[in-house]
Copies of this chain bind each other. A is one copy, B any other.
Amino acid sequence: MTAPSGGPDRAGGAEARTEPAPPRRRDAARSRELLVQAALELFAERGYDRTTTREIGERAGVDPALIARYFGGKTQLYLATVRLELGNETPADLLEEERLRTLLVRLTQRGPGPSFQSAVLPGDNTEVQQASRSYLYERVVDPLRERFTAERVDRPQLRAELAAAAFAGVVLARSSGAFSELAAADPEELLPLLHGLLAASRPS
C-alpha cells in the first residue's frame, strides 16, 4: 500500500487482455490510474478543496508532480474522476427504494464525492463546481424531475431540487461526524426513514 517500488506488484496474475505488458516498473498508464483512484477516494472523503495534491500522491504512491504532468493540474485530475464516475452507473431515481438503497450503501462506504458537497457549498463557480453540479443533476435531479413530470406533479423541477438537496444534506451529514445517531445508523435501518422523507417531496 505504501511503497509499490520495493515489492513485486504482479499479484494479479497474467490475464492476457489487450494489454499484455504486466507490471512494468515504469508505466505512465498505471501511474495515471493510481492517481485517479487515490484522488477518487480522497475527494470522496474530504472534498476537493481539502484534498492536497501531496496527499493524493502519497496515497497513490506516485510523485505529486506527475499530477501536473499527466493531467495538467489538480483541477483536471478531478475532472477525470468525475468522468470516470459518470460512466459507472445508471442514474438513480431516489424514490425507487431499491436504487435508493444502492446509492445509500455506496455513499456510506466511500464518502460522498465533491458532487454532493458542491450542492451545498457556496460557489466560486469554478470548473470543479460546474462539473460536480452537472454530475449531480445527471445523477439525481434529472431522474427525479422526470418522474415528477411523468406523474403530472406540479413544479417538478422545484420538487426534484428540494428532494436532492435534502438527500445531499443527509448523506453529507452522515459522513461529517456532526450527527452521531445518523452516522451510526445502519443503511437498512435508515432506508425506510429516508425513503419516507424523500417521498414527501411530492404531494400525497
Contact = CB atoms under 8 A, between A and B. Distances in A.
B179 A124 contact: no
A168 B119 CA distance: 12
- Number of copies of this protein chain within its complex: 2
A162 interface: yes
A199 to B, nearest CB: 7
Interface stretch (A3-11, A75-83, A190-198): A190-198
Interface string A163-180: 111111110111111111
A49 interface: yes
Contacts of A197: 162-163, 166, 197-198, 200-201
A204 B192 CA distance: 12
B176 A162 contact: no
Contact of A158 (B129, B157, B164, B185): B185
A38 interface: no
A-B CB proximity, top 8 nearest: A169-B169, A200-B200, A165-B173, A166-B166, A161-B179, A161-B182, A120-B172, A123-B177
